[in-house]
Structure 1
């Protein structure tokens, strides 16, 4: 007869009801197994055949088996020297399903539960299910869906299995109904609320989600509020409390922020204390704090950072700089003492790269100006980081300094990048009553095969201009950073739909080298060859017939090119400050044609406020024949449309002579364009810089070889537009109306351009 030695309920280990004298274990037998292998039991038991049985070992055995998480009941019995382990397995999860979950994708939810052990084929654990249910509720709360309810249903099925179903009643999203700031006197409540990304909603809230409560977003808004006061002299500003109240129906949220502004303090003086390497004058020039003005915490932080950065230029990677304040509350003045300690000088042992799964290491390393085994140089490290970022291959580039254990004079630089898609497809279109819809298509891979080289193709299917261009660029054709670009193109211009009309066909190729002189300045040198053919037909303009009479219907050119560019913008997609300057020239030295042409472009961005940016750009282009020959008409400049004067059809502007003779637009030898824009976040869009509205004024003109540039001959337009860095790529939409126009001008009131990444 068996004696029950130990019986354990789930989660508890009980002592033997009937204590037995220790005995030698002759055999061990397992009963109740369905899916679990017997070897799993034997491997977990602390008792082996031949061991001496004790009650302590039995208790330890039960604890070990419950620790596997596979059983909901375990018993141990003894009979004639045989230990019998009796188990009851937990049910196995056959399926996990979600009902009513619309806010989240089911596959994403299943993956999240799989990570915590709740998935098909795993043992069912009620505690794990409860944890999953609470996690689902938390995820809904993070999306301001406080009314969401989750009910778990466990359905037993055959072969000791269960189906687990989470039934979700999502309810409506809770909205912020009010944001109150209590205690403010220096600034109006509307001004302070305007600093927040959170708001009570607008017509665009469906996109911005700005009226959805988020604790993280509220904390960021409070820090913005704190920075606003500290930057205006309120040195003792503090947030006393923040209350978030939700309505009984869990649909409305009211936020109340209680603040104490304190007094406004003025800087009475600034002094330096510490070791400044004998370069006090240089450090003095870095101070942006001004005596006699309100204490500005932002300027203080900028100054201390500038100090540590400047120390870094001399190899002091661990320099410390802090600002100490001596407050005089009787006069509301504060003295600022800048204390600096350069610490020790170090050099860089290694530069380690991480995150570049596709991009080759050499593509990143060749942008570095900080070298391994060289003294640490903060300025070179910043230049290196910016150069890697400007490649455009990564969404984020970070560099961290890590001390080398046991070597106080050495550091490693850990470079972490997050790659982004570098292929792009661009689409462009224009809509006019005369010619309908014209489309353009472009494909480009900026980082082909992770090599840093680019491959591209452009196609234009408009009625007037059909283009196909293949291009490739190697940014490091030489180890010194000289780039090489190759273009092969074929362009056909057929202004009319009639199959018998004339056409201009240009086929050519060019190679260009870019020589970097500084980190922001590059000079370009190139040579090309092209062949242009005038295909005779009806409606051939006189200027083309005159050209054919001089050079023939087919002509060749061998142009040399030179250019220079400088780009100091803070962002390529949404710039708010900086400028772009470009100058380029072309001179044909061989073939049938002799000419020279050049273009100068200038763009400047001015931050009007934290949200509003003003932009100005200008473009002047000139061309002329050389060696006593006429300027080739098909090298003319064109104006009108996106990139020049919006509101007019692309390339449709005519010269004074063309208008006087009732001729179509065949371009001119001179072009001038001016553009002004004022950009701001879309009303209701908060501070989202990826979605902006802009107003613009454009002016431009096109002029023939015998015409002087006259402002009276310029067209102009005004309008509004939307700029959106959308999920499918950058988009610009413009609605334009002419201010100055001439009879026969082709008006195009709606124009847009969009690109997508893959």
Structure 2
């Protein structure tokens, strides 16, 4: 712009010279005149008085022609950025008076802009970023900066060959105003791939090591799946820094990149050339601590873990002093922060580098211990304050702890009432002199109630489901009309109702839980009631025979208490349940008796530890494991029955039936024996499950999982019960609780296809899942996943082989919406045949509703 201005001034001086020569006036030495008048002409919408006033060429002022006054007037007019052409003429000289004329052309105004070659969703962003609004003055600078902005934007995203062409089209109108339309044509081209990365000056580290350090900039490798080979400028700049970090990790603290360049190959790929200067190899010398009074040198040394003579590693040193990548890192900064020293600072200082040996002083300013003054929560419009405050690990008067702040964020996220991605701790009013800090947690409410209303075809008929789940219920306001908005909410209780029906079955269930029984301690009380009615399928008519049914009625009461040892992530849960299984002329292959009942009184105890990070829908770290045991009383010890004799009698009936399957007396006697054996169910059942979550890169999460279950009998003569069994395969969803069965998901196979008709008494399963979020907004959390799975069920320990598993792999998507819960679809490929088959199962599609696996 400055060059352009100088050219304009030079041209105008020539114009003045020629004009004056035409009037035979000699002013080689510069003559002084009084401005007699200034007129304005040209294509401009500005009035004459405004232009003259802005130029500074006032009537009556003395000016020298030629001289700086004219040049300054032109500069002022150019600086307004309103004109495309400015010329000043000497119209006339009368004595010592000079009459001037300023001839102008307004810059054209933008009427409309059209952008081609980009997605519709990107157009508005380009217009806003470049301020291409209606009425803006269209300058050469605007056109140039817009072109450069768009090209740089797409080059940073891998479109290295982006070309932008901008044209303006003049619009004629009745008043001859300068107006234009703008057409911006964007040709992104293809994303450029990297053919090679070439290093020069590297001798200490191999090129393979340096290329590996570049996490996001990779050369073409057809065998690599997860990492791209497309050039992204922003990622490339970060990877250049990673190369220097790699040298710093290996003792070359003076390493630097002298130059880097990109060359375009004939096949339209690019090659990257990086020239390095490695410098000398350095070692650690003496490391001393200055200013520490709270912790001894020996205690701090345990965190540094560096010995004299070790290869210098500046990256590792910084992480052990303060690891900014881990809020709960095992470093010196967190040692102080977790014990009240919020205002502490820790700075490593090199005091000597003689003979490439670096002596360090770690200078510590501890400051005063800090205490929480005021602790508040904002943003909870529905959830009552007491529900939130009882979860806080930070309380007024308590010694500051960073770990407690991080844990509080997790606990609020785990409630499920707030958007876990939006929970933010805000430090307010820090006072280092008094040692106080105010803390404010900001939350954003999400929908806590869910509705399930669906219909589908399965099991030979239409299945309808109505489910209501209120996850932030308030039972104390149940009879308060004013609290219905539309339901009483805010006390953190959970209430769920579910109805499901088809021609062949009906289920009804109700459950309620209070997470803080009595409001004083984190002891969860839960209660549930359920009833299921199953009708026998008539093979001749294809309809349900309602005169023959199998009913289950059950009630469960439970208590779960958070523990403080071994740590406060543990929960001990206990439950007492009672179920009645009632068979009314219901003869199938599943049970050996068709009339009668069984009763199940059981006690369940479980120990869980869950320290997954913040968002329960999409954890990015931590683990979750549980082990439970479900036990019935040992009825056979005191009911006075001779189960050994009953077992021998049953074996005899089985022998008779094997000789004559139509022996009605043997079949009836066997049913009578089984009715007697299973009048009160006697069993023990053990389940174990563990999940781990690891963030490989930002938001990309790896989730390995292992599961195991075993159903056993106290008395071998009584045998393993036909209820409570494991059914492996499919989506893991049970349409109805027929017999207390545990349905185990294993994608890539039909539902419950990997177990016998009666179910297995043992199962194991291994899973590896890779997850990546598409969006984690409160309105909808969506993530994609890939999985590898293997599992199987077995009828006894004689058959059990944990490595004899049915394998599968596939892809899926999960969508969580607060109003509907978790929905998903999986496409799984089974690599093994199902029992009884001879060829691999192949592809299966699974629809997921309500599960969070």
Deviation at 1:540, TM superposition (A): 0.8
Q: Structure 1 residue 635: deviation in Å?
A: 2.5
Give, in angstroms, the shift of residue 369 of structure 1: 0.7
Q: Which residue of 2 aligns with 1:661?
A: none
1:125 is aligned to 2:125: no
- In the alignment, the residues of structure 2 paired with residue 320 and residue 263 of structure 1 have an alpha-carbon distance, to the nearest angstrom, of 30
Of 309, 315, 320, which aligns to 2:334? 309
Provide, for residues 235-293 of structure 1, a one-character-per-residue CA deviation record: whole Å limited to 9, x for no partner: 42523235243649996443323333445445455443332315445434333335564
| Alignment counterpart, residue 198 of structure 1, candidates 211, 214, 217 | 217
How much has 1:13 moved relative to structure 2? Answer: 1.1
Q: Distance in 2 between matches of 1:159 and 1:314?
A: 77
CA positional deviation for 1:482: 3.4
Residues 694-738 of structure 1 show CA distances to partners (whole Å, capped at 9, x for unaligned) of: 655x354333xxxx5124577823545246677888776543333
Deviates more, 1:636-645 or 1:486-495: 486-495
Structure with the bigger RCO (C-alpha within 8 Å, sep 6+) is 1
Structure 2: unaligned runs, 5 residues or longer: 1-36, 41-46, 62-75, 87-104, 323-330, 454-458, 474-488, 636-677, 732-743, 773-782, 817-822
* CA-CA distance at 1:521 after TM superposition: 0.8
Corresponding residue of 1:673: 764
| Partner secondary structure for residue 650 of structure 1 | coil
Q: In the alignment, which of 540, 563, 581 is matched to residue 606 of structure 2?
A: 563
CA offsets, 1:646-684, max 9 Å, x none? 665432344xxxxxxxxx51224x323142659799xxx
Distance across 1 between alignment mates of 2:56 and 2:191:
53
The answer on whether the counterparts of 1:7 and 1:16 sit within 8 Å (CA) in structure 2 is: no
Aligned-partner Cα distance in 1 for 2:553–2:471? 25
More deviation, 96-105/311-320 = 96-105
Match runs of 1:253-402 below 5 Å: 253-267=270-284, 270-290=287-307, 293-305=310-322, 306-325=331-350, 330=355, 333-351=357-375, 365-391=389-415, 393-395=419-421, 397-399=423-425, 401-402=427-428
Query: Given the superposition, is the C-alpha separation of residues 652 and 630 from structure 1 closer, same or farther in structure 2, using an over 3 Å criterion?
Result: same
Question: How far off is 1:452 after superposition?
Answer: 5.9
Whole-angstrom distance in 1 between the partners of 2:499 and 2:218: 45
TM-score, length basis structure 1: 0.67
In 2: Cα distance, 1:604 partner to 1:565 partner: 11
| 1:738 correspondence with 2:853 | no
2:438 aligned with 1:412: yes
Q: Structure 1 pair 99/321, CA: closer, same or farther in 2 (3 Å)?
A: closer
How far, CA to CA, are the matches of 2:848 and 2:52 in structure 1? Answer: 59
Deviation at 1:473, TM superposition (A): 5.6
C-alpha contact (below 8 Å) 2:115/2:123 kept by paired residues: no
Q: Please give the alpha-carbon distance, in whole angstroms, between the structure 2 residues aligned to 1:671 and 1:409.
A: 59
Q: Distance in 2 between matches of 1:170 and 1:420?
A: 42
Output the CA distance in 2 between the equivalents of 1:202 and 1:535: 66
- Aligned residue runs from structure 1 range 195-594, under 5 A: 195=213, 196-201=215-220, 210-231=228-249, 233-245=250-262, 247=264, 252-267=269-284, 270-290=287-307, 293-305=310-322, 306-325=331-350, 330=355, 333-351=357-375, 365-391=389-415, 393-395=419-421, 397-399=423-425, 401-404=427-430, 408-415=434-441, 475=515, 478=519, 480-485=521-526, 498-499=542-543, 504=550, 506=552, 508=554, 510=556, 512-518=558-564, 519-528=568-577, 530=579, 532-534=581-583, 536=585, 540-541=588-589, 544-546=591-593, 548-551=594-597, 559-568=602-611, 579-587=623-631, 593-594=680-681
User: Shift of residue 479 of structure 1?
Assistant: 5.2
Distance in 1, Cα, partners of 2:53 & 2:608: 76
**Structure 1, 222-231 or 312-321: larger mean CA deviation:** 222-231
Partners of 1:582 and 1:499 in 2: CA distance: 42
The answer to whether 1:169 aligns with 2:186 is: yes
- Secondary structure at the aligned position of 2:243 is classed as helix
For 2:290 and 2:447, how far apart are their aligned partners in 1? Answer: 49
Which has the larger displacement, 186-195 or 445-454?
445-454
1:611-650 alignment to 2 at 5 Å?
Answer: 615=704, 617-624=706-713, 633-641=722-730, 643=744, 648-650=749-751
2: CA distance, partners of 1:290 / 1:565: 40
RMSD between aligned residues:
5.8
Deviation at 1:103, TM superposition (A): 3.1
| Pairs within 5 Å for 1:27-46 | none
In 1, Cα distance between the equivalents of 2:265 and 2:400? 59
1:144 aligned to 2:158? yes
Cα–Cα, structure 1 residues 316 and 754, in superposed 2: closer, same or farther, change >3 Å?
farther
Look up the match of 1:100: 116
In the other structure, the counterpart of 2:27 is: none
CA offsets per residue over residues 543-602 of structure 1, 9 Å max, x none? 5242x4452xxx665655432211345697888986433122445689985545433314
Q: Where does the alignment leave 5 or more consecutive residues of structure 1 unmatched?
A: 21-62, 74-87, 428-433, 655-663, 682-689
Per-residue Cα deviation, 1:453-500 (whole angstroms, up to 9, x for no partner):
667788999999997877666655635333455656566778978435
Structure-2 separation of matches of 1:282 and 1:67: 66
Does the 8 Å CA contact 2:766/2:791 hold for their aligned counterparts? Answer: yes
Q: 1:241 to 1:215 in 2, by over 3 A?
A: farther
Contact kept? 1:400, 1:413, Cα under 8 Å: yes
Larger gyration radius, structure 1 or structure 2: 2
> 2:578·2:602 contact (CA, 8 Å) conserved in 1?
yes
1:183 aligns with 2:201: yes
Residue pair 2:584, 2:596 contacting (<8 A) in 1 also: no
Distance 1:99 1:607, change over 3 A: closer
Q: Structure 1 pair 15/292, CA: closer, same or farther in 2 (3 Å)?
A: closer
Distance 1:426 1:216, change over 3 A: farther
Show CA shifts across 1:37-58 (max 9, x none). xxxxxxxxxxxxxxxxxxxxxx
Question: Structure 1's 425 and 141: CA in aligned 2 closer, same or farther, altered over 3 A?
Answer: farther
Distance 1:467 1:293 in 2: 68
How far the C-alpha of 1:149 sits from its partner, in A, is 1.4
How far apart, CA to CA, are the structure 2 residues paired with 1:453 and 1:744?
A: 48
Q: Is the 8 A contact 2:282 2:311 kept in 1?
A: yes
TM-score (norm 2): 0.61
Distance 1:606 1:754, change over 3 A: same
Equivalent residue in structure 1 for 2:753, among 652, 661, 666: 652
Q: Distance in 2 between matches of 1:102 and 1:756?
A: 37
Relative to structure 1, the CA distance from residue 633 to residue 424 in structure 2 (aligned partners, 3 Å threshold; closer, same or farther) is same
User: Contact 1:465/1:491 (CA < 8 Å) preserved in 2?
Assistant: yes
Deviation for aligned residue 1:116: 7.1
| Distance in 1 separating the partners of 2:149 and 2:845 | 44
Give 1:311 deviation, angstroms. Answer: 1.6
Cα distance change of structure 1 residues 649 and 503 upon mapping to structure 2, 3 Å threshold? farther
What is the CA–CA distance in structure 2 between the aligned matches of 1:715 and 1:495, rounded to whole Å?
A: 38
CA separation of 1:745/1:141 partners in 2, compared to 1, >3 Å: closer, same or farther? closer
Alignment check: 8 A CA contact 1:347 1:374 kept:
yes
